Amino acid sequence: MKKPKVLVTRQVASEAISLLKTVAEVDVWERDEPIPRDLLLKRVEEADAILTMLTERVDEELLNRAKQLRVVANMAVGHDNIDLAACKERDIWVTNTPDVLTEATADLAFALLMATGRRLTEANRFLLNGEWTAWSPSLMAGQNVYGSTLGIIGMGRIGEAVARRAKGFGMRILYHNRNRKEQAEAETGAQLASLEVLLRESDYVVLLTPLSEETRLLMGEKEFSWMKPTSVFINVSRGGTVDEGALYQALVKKQIWAAGLDVFQQEPVPANHPLLSLPNVVALPHIGSATEQTRGEMARLAAANIVAVLEGQKPLTAL
């Protein structure tokens, strides 16, 4: 009996590939860069399953070529790269990789908060450039982290994990979410707040919402105008949730103090992006879940979802 075929669009953990090979023939794009669109469309024609990244668009064009596709396993929590409705119409399972990346992403969010608030990357450049010639009381002075107020926009799994870390830093925690999270409130002391109140009162604002039509450009000129001139904005969600032009103006006009960004509207971000020119911006290349252990677990979960479907079972983390 002919084995089904799985297309894997990037190099992933060898354990995940080995798992897939127990039930299928595996076609891996082995370069550590996105598979070209024309090649993706060609290879997907024979695929029963596809293990994708956020960099691949699974849309009508692709689905029309993928006549025997049964499952799309996205190696991410987000799925804004996938047309869920079009997949549902074709009875194609779509899965993601929640939970396994929660703690690593929360670590990164809090590390970015601290690096931005305490000007760590700016201070590092200052030292390496040979500019440190004397100590002074104002040298690279940042903002307090311990005991400050943290506002979390999007109190999902990662938001709750960030709140747990903030509790250890004695922070007052506000959160804005569609639903009240009573367990998180009990565990961390977090308080539900309107978006305006959160932005006006927080010293640090961490954006952790998924990208949807409701959250697209959620943070714009009005929202940044509500923030304190000493406040720090952190985005570890999706680039599309922020009006980058408005953020740039807020930083230049000193409406807010600094920003830490792991995501951008266009990725990879162009080297001449205006935000990258500002000394009070700490920018990272979308590495929220980038630990060896976490990326390995994400790949294994995506593979396990594919194996389940190919064996006639319900996937573990269906959307």
Q: Is the peptide bond before 268 cis (omega within 30 degrees of 0)?
A: yes
Return the DSSP state at 57: -
Distance, in Å, from the CA atom of 283 to the CA atom of 272, rounded to the nearest integer, reads 13
Cβ atoms of 231 and 203 within 8 Å: the answer is yes
Residues serving a catalytic function are 238, 267, 286
Q: Tokens for 262, please give them.
A: 């792991």
Return the DSSP state at 46: G
Q: Is the dihedral of CA 272, 274, 275, 276 positive or negative?
A: positive
Cβ atoms of 36 and 58 within 8 Å: the answer is no
Cβ atoms of 308 and 84 within 8 Å: the answer is no
Distance, in Å, from the CA atom of 229 to the CA atom of 231, rounded to the nearest integer, reads 6
Distance, in Å, from the CA atom of 143 to the CA atom of 171, rounded to the nearest integer, reads 13
Distance, in Å, from the CA atom of 54 to the CA atom of 75, rounded to the nearest integer, reads 8
Residue the block writes with tokens 């879940």: 289
Please name the helix (run of DSSP H) or strand (run of DSSP E) that holds residue 88, with its range, or none. helix 84-89
Cβ atoms of 236 and 210 within 8 Å: the answer is no
Cβ within 8 Å of residue 148, ≥6 positions away: 171, 172, 203, 204
Distance, in Å, from the CA atom of 249 to the CA atom of 275, rounded to the nearest integer, reads 10
